[in-house]
Structure formats: C-alpha cells, structure tokens
Amino acid sequence: MYKTFIKQVASLQIILGLVMLVPSIFAIIYQEWYSLVGFLISGTFTVLLGWLVHRVYRNTKEPQKKHSLAIAAIGWLMIVIFGAIPYFVIAHITPLGVMQQFVPEGMKYTSSLLNFRNPLHCLFESTSAFTTTGLTMAYNEPSVGKSILFYRSFSQWVGGAGFIVMAIAIFRHVPGQGAIQLYGSEASGTKLRTNVIETARAIWKVYFVVTLSMFIYIAVGTYFILPEYPLAENIFDAINHAMAGLSTGGFSTLDDSIAGYQSVKMDILFLLPMFLGGLSIPFFYRFIFQRKIDEIWKDAQTRAFIIATIVGGVVLSVFLMISNTVNNPFREGVFQFVSALSTTGWQTSNIGVWDDISMLFIVVFAMLIGGSAGGTVGGIKIIRALLLQKGLKWHINKIFLSKNTVKSVRVNNKILLPEEMNSELSRAGIFALIYILFVFVSTLFTLYFMPSGFTLADAVFESASAQGTVGLSSGITTPDMHPILEGIYIIQMWAGKLEIIPILVLLRVMFYGTKPRIV
C-alpha cells in the first residue's frame, strides 16, 4: 500500500518540478540571475527526485479507489513542502544588496525576499499559493522580484486546477467518478466527457481559455483606464492577475493588492475576474463549448451566486455606511464581498478598522459559504448551503404529510427520493459541522497567540479566511506572527483546499491502514 502512495506522490513531484522551472523564463527576461539559479536548482532537484523514486517503484500496482483521498492528501502536502524550496534557495543565495534593487524607487523598506530566509515563511507562502489562499509573507510584494511574483501566481493557477492534474497523473485507471470526486465536481454529479481523462482535458481546456480571456480583458481595460501606466508593467500585471483571479488565489503584483491602483474604475474592472472565478468549471464548459446560454440562470449554483453577490454586496455596504468606518462604503463593501464569496482575496479596504458586525457578516454569509463546487473556490460551497436549506424545508414539510406520502426534492435540476435526500443531507451536514469546528478551534488559537489590539471578530475573520482559502486579512497575518499560529493557518489552508475529509482519511490510513473496521 505505502509503495503505491510513494509512486503516485513521486509522479506529482515530477509535475511540480516542471512548474518550478517555468518562472526561469521571467528570471531571464528581467535579468534576475540569482532567482534563475534558484528556480533551476529547485526544479531540477524536484524533477530528478520524483523521477528516481517513480522509477524505483514503477512496478508497484496502481492505486485503488479506496486509496484516492489519502493519496490526494499526502500528495498535496508534499507539493506545498517541495514548493517552498525556491523561496528558501533564492532568499539565501541572493545578496542583500541585490534584494534591495527589487524595492521600487522611492520606497524605504527592506526587501520582503529577506523574509523567506525563514523556512516556516517559505512553507506558509507555498501553502497559500498552491491552495489558492492568498495570505502572504511577502509583505511588500514588488520587492521580491518579478520571477518570484510570477511563481506565486503560477502556483495559484496550477493549484486551482490541481486536482485535475492528480486525476490524470494518479487515477488514469480508476473509473471517472473516483477522480472527478477529487476536484469537486461530485457535488453536482457532473461528468463532462465519456471518461475521466477526457473530462480532465476538457476542464483544463476551459480553464486555459477563460484565463486567456481574462488576461486580454485586464490588459486592455488597464490600458484604457490608466493610459499612463507602463505597458510592460500592464502586461506583467495582467498575466499574474488573470491567473490569480481565475484560480481565486488573490495574489497581486502590487503593494496594496488592487487598492494599489488607486482607481475606482480599476476596482470595477477586477470585479469580473473574481466573479468568474467563483463559478464552476463545468458551468463554463456547458456555457462556452456546449453553448447552453440558459445555464446562467438554470444552474442552481450560478443563480445563487449571482443573487448572493448582489444582495450581500448591498447589505455589507449598508453596514459599513452605518458604522462610518470607511470612506467609500459602497465601493469597498461590494468589492470585499465579491472577493470573500468567490474566495479570491483581493483587497481594497483596511478590514482591520471595520466594525464587528460588518466583519462577522462577511464571515458568515461569504467566507464560510464560498463559491460554486466544481470550481477553484474554498468554503463550504454554495451547493451544500442550498442542499441544507432545501433539507430544512423538506423536514419541516414532512411533518404535515401522511406517512404514506413519498416526498421527493428537486436540487439543482435533480430529483432526489427521501433515501437519497437523507444521504446527501447527512454528508453536507457532517462536512459543514467539521468545517465550522476547524474554524472554531483555529479562532481559539488565534485569540491566544495574536498580538494585542485585535478583537474576537478579527480572530474569527482571520481563521475563516485561512480555512476558506480566501486570503483577506484583518492584519493578524504578518511575518511577525507567532510561529504556532502560522503553523495552524498552514494546516487550515491545506485542509481547506482538500475539503478536510481527505486529511481525516489519511490519518485513518496512517493509524489503521486501508482494511475495513467496524465502528
């Protein structure tokens, strides 16, 4: 069994090593020679190690379906650990004087690349990148160099569709539903093509097309909104923001995220990438390639996401207006709500000064719920929230029916019989309970280890952000945060990306193996 795990994880390391080599192109373009060496060393080492291990275990039998979730958990853990190597290597081989050349002209701060001489910060950044969270140890982003900035965004883009990579690399001999389960489409029961490999390729095709479209959209929009903005910077920003937006990762090339543009029109421009990132990839497939235009309203998740975006943005803006804590409540409220619901994490407001009601509202009605299952988002997912809401109404209505009446339920255009509904409800309810429990425990740790000056609402907000792979911050996440709290958030981001259950399965395999046990 363990040989099977090692073989499959090794195949992922080969892919990860190739991902590490891609930023070398930008290191050459921007003449960041120390970064070039760092990426070449890290990528080559990871590829060779993965290839050698895979070769040693090449005759090991292929994994069975019962192994899938445990392999996903350990595979992702190894990805974030090895993905931290470039940050560590580059930070140690780059002289301080060269680091300071990355600091924008006129700025007096020390290069944030220095933070990555701490291996825990490297692991945090890697985890945040590949899990598409967006919390960062690169406190002043432009000061880490262009190639590192690209690596962060590219990691988020690959991580956003990473389960599909694992489906191709690991589950090529397993029936489609087992692999589809890993990237989230099981929530809607969607199978796009005849088998899982074709489904994975279709998903990647959609993902690439939409990302490319967003690159053009952002680049052209920035050109017309900010004509004085340097064209080279515009193109570089658009590449990174398109990847970070569609993956709902939220990393930015600017010092203050999207607020760095200091433009209302730019805030409006970036609403679309966040919104699209919150939708499911199967929806894009049906909408773009099958030309099912009515899916915009017919698909329950998409319809609910549209309604929640509008209503939630308005309500949050009203709360901010009443609290009188920000200068532009509507502008900041709408942007932050879309960012939180889609779990993108781009930020245009100093959330640390918000009142408690506004912070808790965005936590409960955006960050905890998240976007559409089958996409790149975190959170409990809209489909589960809809299922729980339907289930509550169903149970109440059953009280008034005769015991011989069979009451079916329609969920996202599927008819569920009572037995099926009970099964779906139990899965959704258990997941939601475990999810909220994780946030609760993290909040307790945050309260104990966070600096003075922060409130309970700040602790809940930061914990929910890490768990939901959102990336918005009230100010607790900094390079100076307590190492234990930093470790807690790393675990949360890992668990949030995998939807917790694979990690619990991995723990079960570690202690009891894969043999059935009577509970």
User: HEC string of 319-387?
Assistant: HHHHHCCCCCHHHHHHHHHHHHHCCCCCCCCCHHHCCHHHHHHHHHHHHCCCCCCCCCCCCCCHHHHHH
Residue written as token pair 């890697």: 126
Strand partners, 255: 257
Backbone angles phi, psi at 176, to 5 degrees: -50, -45
Q: Which helix (H) or strand (E) holds 256?
A: strand 255-258
Backbone angles phi, psi at 415, to 5 degrees: -95, 120
Which of the four pLDDT bands, split at 50, 70 and 90, describes residue 202? confident
pLDDT at 203: 79
pLDDT for residue 421 is more than 90: no
The 10s digit of each residue's pLDDT in 277-313 is 999 988 998 899 888 898 898 888 999 999 999 999 9
pLDDT at 178: 42
Pair of tokens at residue 176? 């489609």
The 10s digit of each residue's pLDDT in 260-272 is 999 999 999 999 9
Q: Which amino acid is at 398?
A: K
Pair of tokens at residue 30? 């921007």
Share of the chain above pLDDT 70, in %: 89
pLDDT for residue 333 is more than 70: yes
Q: What is the mean pLDDT of residues 388-408?
A: 76
Nearest to 494 by CA among 126, 183, 221: 126
The 10s digit of each residue's pLDDT in 109-140 is 999 999 999 999 999 999 999 999 999 999 89
User: Poorest-confidence range of 246-260, 268-282, 381-395?
Assistant: 381-395
**Alpha carbons 448 and 463: distance in angstroms, whole number:** 13
Scored b (16 or more CB within 10 A) or e, 126-149 reads: bbbbbbbbbbbbbbbbbbbbbbbb
Higher pLDDT pick, 399 / 492: 492
Backbone angles phi, psi at 30, to 5 degrees: -95, 10
pLDDT at 505: 84
pLDDT at 512: 74
Scored b (16 or more CB within 10 A) or e, 382-411 reads: bbbbbbbebbeebeeeeeeeeeeeeeebeb
pLDDT for residue 258 is more than 90: yes
pLDDT at 473: 95
pLDDT for residue 405 is more than 80: no
pLDDT for residue 376 is more than 90: no
pLDDT at 201: 76
Q: What is the mean pLDDT of residues 486-497?
A: 96
Are 265 and 224 in contact, with CB atoms under 8 Å apart?
no
**Alpha carbons 86 and 22: distance in angstroms, whole number:** 12
Q: Radius of gyration of the chain from Cα atoms?
A: 23
Which of the four pLDDT bands, split at 50, 70 and 90, describes residue 435? very high
**Alpha carbons 502 and 495: distance in angstroms, whole number:** 8
| Polymer length of the chain | 519
- List of long-range contacts for 454-458, beta carbons under 8 Å, 24+ apart: 454/352, 455/356, 456/356, 457/356, 457/359, 457/360, 458/352, 458/359
pLDDT for residue 21 is more than 80: yes
User: Poorest-confidence range of 353-357, 366-370, 401-405?
Assistant: 401-405
